[in-house]
Chains A and B, each alone.
Chain A
Amino acid sequence: MHIVVCVKQVPDTKIIKINPKTNTLDRKSAPAILNPYDAHAVQEAVKVKQLTGGTISVLSMGPPQATEVIKKSIEIGADRGYLISDRAFAGADTLATSYALSKALERIGKDIPVDMVICGKHAIDGDTGQVGPGIARRMDIPPVTSVIEVSEVNVKEKTILIKRKLTSGYELIQAELPCLLTVEKEINEIEYAPMPNMIRAARYQPIIWTVNELENVDRAQLGLKGSPTVVGKMFTPPRPEGGKKLEGSADEQVKQLMDLLMDKKDLLTVQSTN
């Protein structure tokens, strides 16, 4: 069983600031982290490997410092990591990104055939959720999105049983291997990594490929050139208006708050939902 997990280094959007003039993210204002959904993807690969055995590779595209997220994935339990890093990849939208990653997957698959690809549901900086399915389409394998549980993996029959999240409830589906999963956060809890993983990660040097090390690449489909996405307009959503800031000592503020709440008792009554 060879599982490849695609991971992305993203700015921590919980604390990032937005440049008020250009409406773009001020990447310097937040630390770079492993996309949280991707961490769950790696963790799920570890869980599957515990059942089936095999190898977990992680793959990322980005600048050299993106090796950090590969090391983080090794901590969680990945066995090896690949980074494709080249100026030719820069400025890629989801179309060009999925193309570049699928070419890297081709190369990885030459060493050990890939049985499963796992991606996070989406990256927290772009929120598109397109790269995972894009890779599946290019590899011509089934994409299974919104996965909340890998219920069964049958290595012999090469099938997998999966729970997908729906707006109300879930569906249980069987897919053939190889396939590609994109996972939700609730699929697992990130475990506190054992010390041997930490040491391995601290020592680990990911394999870094430039565009020249990938095969049969159509350069016109890479990077900015291969990205038809046009950003029409960017805006920061307006802050909700209204609200009132209470001033004064803590005691005064509490009193004011209580008065306000008692004025609007209807907000506090529990409403039945039939």
Chain B
Amino acid sequence: MPEKFDVIVVGAGPAGTACALVCAQQGLNVMLIERGEYPGSKNVMGGVLYRKQLEDLIPDFWKEAPLERPIIEQRFWMMDKESVVSFGYKGLEWGVEPYNNFTVLRAQFDQWFAKKAVEAGALLVNETVVKECIVENGKVVGVRTDRPDGDLYADVVVLADGVNSLLGKQLGFHKEHRPDEVALTAMEVINLPKEKINDRFNLEDNQGCTIEIFGDSTQGNLGTAFLYTNKDSLNIGVGTTLSSMIKAKLKPYDLLDYLKNHPMVSPLLAGGESAEYLAHLIPEGGFRSVPKVVGDGVVVVGDAASLVNAIHREGSNMAMASGKMAAEAIVKAKTRNDFSASGLNSYREALYNSFIMKDLEKYKDAAHTFEKYPQYFKEYVPMMNKAASKFFTVDGTPKREKQKQIMKSVTAERGTIRVLQDMYRAWKAVK
């Protein structure tokens, strides 16, 4: 008879590892199964790690975790073909403990994080694919892996198997993602000497900067690009919804090439050496795409549950928080020995009462609005650039006259009523 665990967690990313860590800390017998060679070997994210949700799991983690740089500056670029309107915030208070957020390289970070779960008592098995959940009488009782003698049993199976969650599909919790529910992002890690990064981004050694780039970075399609500073490398990437990519017949690598060669971006990368090339789907469907997250003997966490806030580029923090909530529900279920959907439902309650579902609810129409009305990225960004250029060019025109001309050109391009409609619609989508 194969061994039975209290909990089997499928996937050692932020969500699964957080769940395994908390379960193990509470004395449960936890098996954590990872498909890659090691945790982090297959994972992709832009690279921003938020402090709060990890600190809830591992206080003072920044003293030991493999982090790149604490982020002290966040810039936002509205980019046109040969110009940028930028704004941002730089604050030295983010450069000292407890910090605000960090850049990380996932291949290193995930290994460290999984090691914390192992130290707490979880068993980690790498290079193993879970092919399906074992279901008996409608209840999930274990998993079937691709290894010989590979069946494992548990009271609860945690699906942390990422954006494509094959197990979630097997159980009928969700269907194949629609192209407008996922973003396809391609990114590159570019090695660049530390001194060059510090000079180009105006940073000290232990300071990082992030730039989010809208507009021409996606050739006007719904999506964003990003450029983040690591210790001695840069993460640069760009993604749009899969549906935009299909519609505009774009290829993710072409878009990334376009971005890297953009005159506003290329000087920052010059002389760098490409170290890694990665691409991944991001579940950006938001509130309406969140599947069933609790079943008999099973819970769903992280990307597998579409817990991503695309507007605020939050995902790994939500993954960790959801993993922790799931673990707490499992511990509770264990005390009552009730692992049915109702016994585990406190996870769903916690999730829906937390910032995660509240934030996703707030933006539930945002992606839809911006997808349906492409003018925000396609027309307003160039307009802003033209306006800024006009306003800041000293040519003897009085400033009030310039303002008039700018307003006129905006309303001339889109019409006064449509501009007002656009503004109202955008406000409604993110209010």
Binding site for B on A (CB under 8 A): 31, 192-196, 198-199, 202-203
A113 to chain B, nearest CB (A): 31
The answer to whether A194 touches B125 (Cβ under 8 A) is no
**What CA separation (Å) do A270 and B146 show in the bound complex?**
44
Residues on the B chain within 8 Å of A31, using CB: 38
Residue from B38, B125, B148, B151 in contact with A199 in the complex, judged by beta carbons closer than 8 Å? B125
* B124, B128, B148, most chain A CB atoms within 10 A: B148
The answer to whether B150 touches A194 (Cβ under 8 A) is yes
Indicate with 1 or 0, residue by residue over B146-164, a CB within 8 angstroms of chain A CB atoms. 1111111000000000000
Closest residue to B38 on the A side, CB-wise?
A31
Residues on the A chain within 8 Å of B145, using CB: 195
Residues on the A chain within 8 Å of B123, using CB: 199, 202-203
The answer to whether A192 touches B125 (Cβ under 8 A) is no
**What CA separation (Å) do A167 and B219 show in the bound complex?**
60
The answer to whether A194 touches B149 (Cβ under 8 A) is yes
Closest residue to A191 on the B side, CB-wise?
B148
Residues on the A chain within 8 Å of B146, using CB: 192
B3: interface (CB < 8 Å): yes
Given contacts A199-B123, A199-B125, A202-B123, whether A192 and B3 have CB atoms under 8 Å apart is no
**What CA separation (Å) do A198 and B8 show in the bound complex?**
14
The answer to whether A195 touches B149 (Cβ under 8 A) is yes
Residues on the A chain within 8 Å of B150, using CB: 194-195
B64 to chain A, nearest CB (A): 16
**What CA separation (Å) do A193 and B123 show in the bound complex?**
16
Residues on the A chain within 8 Å of B148, using CB: 192-195
Residues on the A chain within 8 Å of B3, using CB: 199
Q: Nearest 8 pairs between A and B by C-beta?
A: A194-B148, A202-B123, A195-B147, A195-B150, A194-B149, A198-B125, A195-B149, A202-B125
**What CA separation (Å) do A194 and B124 show in the bound complex?**
15
Q: By DSSP majority rule, is chain A's interface helix, strand, loop, or mixed?
A: helix
The answer to whether A202 touches B147 (Cβ under 8 A) is no
The answer to whether B152 touches A202 (Cβ under 8 A) is no
**What CA separation (Å) do A202 and B3 show in the bound complex?**
14
Closest residue to B118 on the A side, CB-wise?
A202
Residues on the A chain within 8 Å of B2, using CB: 195
Closest residue to B31 on the A side, CB-wise?
A199
Closest residue to B150 on the A side, CB-wise?
A195
**What CA separation (Å) do A159 and B31 show in the bound complex?**
43
**What CA separation (Å) do A195 and B150 show in the bound complex?**
5
Residue from B38, B128, B151 in contact with A198 in the complex, judged by beta carbons closer than 8 Å? B128
Indicate with 1 or 0, residue by residue over B179-215, a CB within 8 angstroms of chain A CB atoms. 0000000000000000000000000000000000000
A67 to chain B, nearest CB (A): 12
**What CA separation (Å) do A199 and B2 show in the bound complex?**
11
**What CA separation (Å) do A182 and B369 show in the bound complex?**
67
Indicate with 1 or 0, residue by residue over B124-153, a CB within 8 angstroms of chain A CB atoms. 110010000000000000000111111110
Closest residue to B124 on the A side, CB-wise?
A202
The answer to whether B124 touches A195 (Cβ under 8 A) is no
B 1-15 contacts with A by CB, 8 A:
2-3
**What CA separation (Å) do A31 and B40 show in the bound complex?**
13
**What CA separation (Å) do A203 and B122 show in the bound complex?**
9
Residues on the B chain within 8 Å of A194, using CB: 147-150
A135 to chain B, nearest CB (A): 30
Residues on the B chain within 8 Å of A193, using CB: 147-148
**What CA separation (Å) do A202 and B118 show in the bound complex?**
9
* B2, B125, B150, B152, most chain A CB atoms within 10 A: B125
**What CA separation (Å) do A73 and B409 show in the bound complex?**
71
Closest residue to B126 on the A side, CB-wise?
A198
Closest residue to A201 on the B side, CB-wise?
B125
Residues on the B chain within 8 Å of A196, using CB: 149
The answer to whether A192 touches B147 (Cβ under 8 A) is yes
A77 to chain B, nearest CB (A): 12
Residues on the B chain within 8 Å of A195, using CB: 2, 125, 128, 145, 147-152
Closest residue to B128 on the A side, CB-wise?
A198
B192 to chain A, nearest CB (A): 16
Residues on the B chain within 8 Å of A198, using CB: 125, 128, 147
Closest residue to B123 on the A side, CB-wise?
A202
Closest residue to A196 on the B side, CB-wise?
B149
**What CA separation (Å) do A203 and B32 show in the bound complex?**
12
**What CA separation (Å) do A193 and B150 show in the bound complex?**
10
B275 to chain A, nearest CB (A): 10
Closest residue to A33 on the B side, CB-wise?
B37
**What CA separation (Å) do A195 and B149 show in the bound complex?**
6
A70 to chain B, nearest CB (A): 15
Residues on the B chain within 8 Å of A202, using CB: 123-125
**What CA separation (Å) do A192 and B149 show in the bound complex?**
11
**What CA separation (Å) do A202 and B147 show in the bound complex?**
15
Closest residue to B41 on the A side, CB-wise?
A31
Instruction: List 22 contacting pairs A-B, 8 Å CB cutoff, sorted by A.
Output: A192-B147, A193-B147, A194-B147, A194-B148, A194-B149, A195-B2, A195-B125, A195-B128, A195-B145, A195-B147, A195-B148, A195-B149, A195-B150, A196-B149, A198-B125, A198-B128, A198-B147, A199-B3, A199-B31, A199-B125, A202-B123, A202-B125
* A31, A192, A198, most chain B CB atoms within 10 A: A198
Residues on the A chain within 8 Å of B147, using CB: 192-195, 198
Other CB < 8 Å A-B pairs besides A193-B148, A195-B151, A199-B3, 8 of them? A194-B148, A195-B2, A195-B125, A195-B147, A195-B150, A199-B31, A202-B124, A203-B123
**What CA separation (Å) do A193 and B146 show in the bound complex?**
10
**What CA separation (Å) do A272 and B150 show in the bound complex?**
51
**What CA separation (Å) do A193 and B145 show in the bound complex?**
12
Closest residue to A192 on the B side, CB-wise?
B147
B285 to chain A, nearest CB (A): 34
B 219-246 contacts with A by CB, 8 A:
none
